[in-house]
Amino acid sequence: MITIKSASIIVPSEPTPNGILWLSESDQMMQCSHEPLISIYKPNNNNDDIILPFSSETMKVSLSRALVHYYPLAGRLRSADGGRFELVCNAMGAKLLEAYSEAEVADLGDFAPTEAHQDLVPKIDYRTPIEEWPLLLVQLTRFRCGGFCVGTAICHTVVDGWSAGTFISSWAKLARGDDLRPDEIPFHDRTLLRSRQPVMPPRFDHREFSKPPLVIGSLDAKAEQKKKTSVALLKVSRKQVEGLQKTTNEILDDQTNLVKPIRPYSQYEAIASHIWRCACKARAGDDRQPTRVRIAVDVRNRMKPPLPRRYFGNAVFITVTSTCLYGELLSKPLSYAAGIIREAAERMTDEYIRSALDFMTSQEQVGSLRINFSVQGNTEALSFPGNPNLVIPSWVKLPLYGTDFGWGKPVYVGPGMLTVEGKSLIMSSPASDGSLIVALCLQTQCMDSFKKFFYEDMI
């Protein structure tokens, strides 16, 4: 049981730029809903670090200071022509809630983002006009045992995962009493991702904007959307990660000799391939069932020239694998799936990205494209990302576990909820020992089988 004790609006502590901040097409493609994140802190971490007492006033003052640098988060969205949005920098502020829970941190179990954890994240009433929605909401929940949860909800139109992570890390640094270095100040000019003028015709077949495959025999995904889902957190040890990578990189040639790929498959490629194959097995579909995976690619270092390191906004582009069949994935080695995933990511070159920007800019109504990228529970049937498909982003490189507000590092950082079937997340473990955590939402009827295959098929 969580009780909301107070609610306040936090505005920047100093004057900030006013007016319209141009949103890139990559911003426009992201849903305008808020991505929930929870950071859990246990009381009195048993270490030699100096642990500061929790102070809601410190959290408010430091957030106010952070919003000076991250002033777009204190603004509001408004609708524009063609289904687009505008970001109005007006310093209306972020919403901060203070809450108390009778539970203890230990009662949260393995922190799987089930319905029981949704109360740790602030809620947004999407029935109200969009101009009234705070772009940043924070909920500070204190547990009976003395632990804390910092739950944030940040509008995805405004930031990607990296930007959200750097904001929270900067806020934490200010809360500890430190100042931001010049190289830690966010970069707000999003015109670096503006399409070329005049807009050129796309130079590629942008399959990422096409509709995903359906279950064989279905005309839409409505039946799949209605099926009950379950959420799980699956721990993968460093040894298991290394074993999967070893298996992925053992490729048989036509003479059944072991050969090595020109460039070894990465940790992500190995884990994502394993998740894909296990989902195909657990779903137990026809061998002729088509399937594909949606992947998020950070393009900061793929652009020419690269985007500034502290680029604040959506520099993530969505790509999809080529469509293949269950039978192909399950009858061939893990390297087959890894190769398909690699091809999808490597497609995102500077030229391809700029072609995608041209394609998006040329659309009179971007809403029809945005629907295909949406991962909300109320998506239309045609945009459903689940069965027989998957969404597998990685949070491994996001700056999440450094968020020390003065109480020590969090014992867990992860999604506040995961409600869309077929969506998974690959995350770092708080142990920082090379192990990983896979968060997964799957149809309940498939979850036990998935877990069985997930661990049995590892070496």
Reduced to 3 states (helix: H, G, I; strand: E, B; else coil), residue 317 is: strand
Mean pLDDT, to the nearest integer, of 11-19?
A: 98
Best mean pLDDT range from 105-109, 188-192, 430-434: 188-192
- pLDDT of residue 376 exceeding 50: no
As a whole number of angstroms, the distance between CA 42 and CA 378 comes to: 35
- pLDDT of residue 65 exceeding 90: yes
As a whole number of angstroms, the distance between CA 129 and CA 112 comes to: 32
DSSP 347: T
Structure tokens at 114: 């089930």
Give percent of the chain with pLDDT exceeding 90.
78
Residues marked as catalytic: 156, 404
As a whole number of angstroms, the distance between CA 88 and CA 133 comes to: 12
- pLDDT of residue 283 exceeding 80: yes
As a whole number of angstroms, the distance between CA 272 and CA 57 comes to: 42
**267 with 332: CB under 8 angstroms?**
no
CA dihedral sign, ordered 79, 83, 87, 93? positive
pLDDT at 250: 82
Q: Which of 82-91, 191-200, 215-224, 380-389 has the lowest mean pLDDT?
A: 380-389
pLDDT at 199: 85
Domain 207-397+418-456: assigned CATH number: 3.30.559.10
As a whole number of angstroms, the distance between CA 21 and CA 191 comes to: 10
Structure tokens at 77: 């969205």
Mean pLDDT, to the nearest integer, of 246-258?
A: 66
Q: At what angle do helices 334-346 and 238-248 cross, to 10 degrees?
A: 90
Where do we find the tokens 């901040």? 21
Q: Which of 132-146, 370-384, 437-451 has the lowest mean pLDDT?
A: 370-384
Q: What is the pLDDT of residues 19-50, one digit of tens each?
A: 999 999 999 999 889 999 999 998 865 454 54
In the chain, CATH 3.30.559.10 sits at 2-193, 207-397+418-456
Query: Any idea which fold 2-193 has?
Result: Chloramphenicol Acetyltransferase (3.30.559)
pTM of the model: 0.93
As a whole number of angstroms, the distance between CA 29 and CA 10 comes to: 28
- pLDDT of residue 6 exceeding 80: yes
Rg of the chain (C-alpha set): 22
